[in-house]
Amino acid sequence: MIKWTDEQRTLRAAAAELGAVVGKDHLERDATGTFSEQGWALVRESGLLGLPFGAEYGGLDADLLTTMYVLEGLGESCRDGGFPFSVTTHVVSTGVPLQRFGSDELKQRYLPGVCSGSAIGAHAISEPDAGSDMMAMRTTAVLDGDDYVLSGSKSFVSNGPIADTFMVYARTGKSGAPDAITTFLVERDSPGLHVGQPMGKMGLKTSPLSELFLDGVRVPTSRVVGKVGAGFLVLDHVMKWEILLSFVVNLGEMEHRLAECVRHARSRKQFGRPIGSYQSVSNKLVDMRIGVETSRKWLYDTAEKLVARKAVTTDIAITKLVVSEANVASALAAVQVFGGYGYMTEYGVEKDVRNAVAGTIYSGTTEIQRQRVAAMMGLG
């Protein structure tokens, strides 16, 4: 059990306040798939985007656990599930690898934009033919003088349509080898870089997503993030953060959803009794509670292990699997607890189901997480 300080609570309260404001017109934006520009302006002002980054770059120097606690607050209050996803994507895609692997020059040049939110970040990893398998990527980076020349295409780039800075993962070595991938920081206005049209999707509709096409994009060697060939290790670090930050938002959402369901179950009556007194309903609420508590334990326990420099590859995979599946189960249970209202778009409950499904897919599907745990156990 972590004891949060007053300062941490204050930060979380600020995030919660922000989330409530940003989430206001979430139904309209979900229907039209619109990113909240106004929300972004607010979140920039709040300083939230610089939470885990150094003060010298305009960040708040908060540690990982504080960052998570604050984002949990954002998730709890913000009914627009896509918005926090764009926020965490921004933070983890560019800020996190720059802070950990970037040269001083790169940090000085790009981290302030990450912290202030003046340059929105995205990362381009998966590809049409490679799916979740980053070692199969076909996008190549070939050294030509002082530049790398990047060619290929990337699918599912979250924040793609609104991003200013992309972390592009491309192959510099033999396909399949652990040292084959390198990370490049690419600016949106680079010649040869084309951002595709926003793509329609099932959930997280307010967080825009697109494809990215690289047609001989020249990137100076100085914009390699980490060492050449270290892309897999950079991504491993990024994925740890991505999973902890984006799924702690889901934890907040689940907490809110549970509270709403409990309130509804205690007030709504059927046959003269509150529906929560029927075991078929209370069982669902108990399962939702178990999901919340299990997710919280995995998220913060894994984060503490990470901070304590323990090996967390297995924990991260389990956390990702547990929280994403708990979120889907919780969202489905809420639809049932709310009955007909839950099924109607205007109550905003069904949208959570669509949003939650995304969590079982991005950052490696549930199947991939299982395989990863198996691999860590030395199985196949």
Partner 1 sequence: MGDHLSGLIDSHAKGTAVSFNGADVSYRELRALVADALRVLDGLPAGRPVALHVRKSPESVALVLACWAQRRPFLLPPADLGTDARAALYRQAGCGHVLHADLTTVDTGEPADEVPELDGVGPMLTTSGSTGLPKVVPLPHDGIDRFTDWAAGAFGITGGSVVFNYAPLNFDLCLLDIWTTLRRGGHVVLADQERAVDARYLLRAFTHARVEVVQAVPLFYRRLLEVADGPFPDVRELVHTGDAMPPALLARLPEFFPNARLRNVYGCTETNDSLIHDSDPTSADPVPIGRPIDGVQVRLDGGELLVRTPFQAGRYLDTAIADKWVEVDGETWLRTGDLVRQDADGVFHLDGRADYQVKVRGVRTNVQQVEQALQSHAEVADVVVLAVPDDEAGYRLHAVVRAVDGTRPNSLTLRSHCARLLPRTAVPSSLELTADEFPRTTTGKVDRKKLLAERV
Partner 2 sequence: MSRIDEITRYIVAEFAPDIRADELDADYDLLDNGVVDSLGLLRLIGWLGERYDLPVDDIDLAPEQFRSVRAVDAFVESALVKGPAL
Judged by the rule CB under 8 A, the positions of this chain that interact with partner 1 are: 129-130, 132-133, 135-138, 174-177, 180, 365, 367-368, 370-372, 380
- Catalytic site residues? 242
Q: How far is the CB of 75 from partner 1 (least distance, A)?
A: 28
Nearer to partner 1, 264 or 372 (CB): 372
Looking at 40, 53, 101, 156, which residue binds partner 2 (CB under 8 A)?
101
Nearer to partner 1, 176 or 220 (CB): 176
Nearer to partner 2, 177 or 290 (CB): 177
Give the binding-site size for partner 2 (rule: CB under 8 A): 26
Q: How far is the CB of 184 from partner 2 (least distance, A)?
A: 15
Q: Which does 138 bind (CB under 5 to 8 A by kind): partner 2, partner 1, none?
A: partner 1
d(CA 61, CA 58): 9
The residue written with tokens 């060619």 in the block is 151
**CA neighbor of 198 nearest in space, from 162, 169, 154:** 162
Nearer to partner 1, 41 or 177 (CB): 177
Looking at 42, 119, 135, 329, which residue binds partner 2 (CB under 8 A)?
135
CB environment 248-268: b (16+ within 10 A), e (fewer)? bbbbbbbbbbbeebbebbeee
In angstroms and rounded to an integer, the radius of gyration of the C-alpha atoms of the chain is 21
Q: How far is the CB of 48 from partner 1 (least distance, A)?
A: 34
d(CA 189, CA 165): 9
Quick check: 208 and 160 in contact, CB under 8 A? yes
Query: Helices 350-359 and 313-343: crossing angle, nearest 10°?
Result: 160
Looking at 140, 313, 336, 366, which residue binds partner 2 (CB under 8 A)?
313
Query: Helices 231-267 and 82-90: crossing angle, nearest 10°?
Result: 160
Number of Cβ atoms within 10 Å of the Cβ of 276: 20
Quick check: 170 and 182 in contact, CB under 8 A? yes
Q: Which does 230 bind (CB under 5 to 8 A by kind): partner 1, partner 2, none?
A: partner 2
Tell me the per-residue interface mask from 226 to 265 with partner 2, x by CB under 8 A, - otherwise: xxxxx-xx--xx----------------------------
d(CA 244, CA 92): 10
Q: How far is the CB of 230 from partner 2 (least distance, A)?
A: 4
**Helices and strands (H and E) in the chain: how many:** 12, 10
d(CA 157, CA 136): 17
- Stretch in the footprint of partner 2 (CB under 8 A) among 31-39, 121-129, 188-196, 303-311: 303-311
Q: Does residue 372 belong to the site contacting partner 2 (CB under 8 A)?
A: yes
Q: Does residue 52 belong to the site contacting partner 2 (CB under 8 A)?
A: no
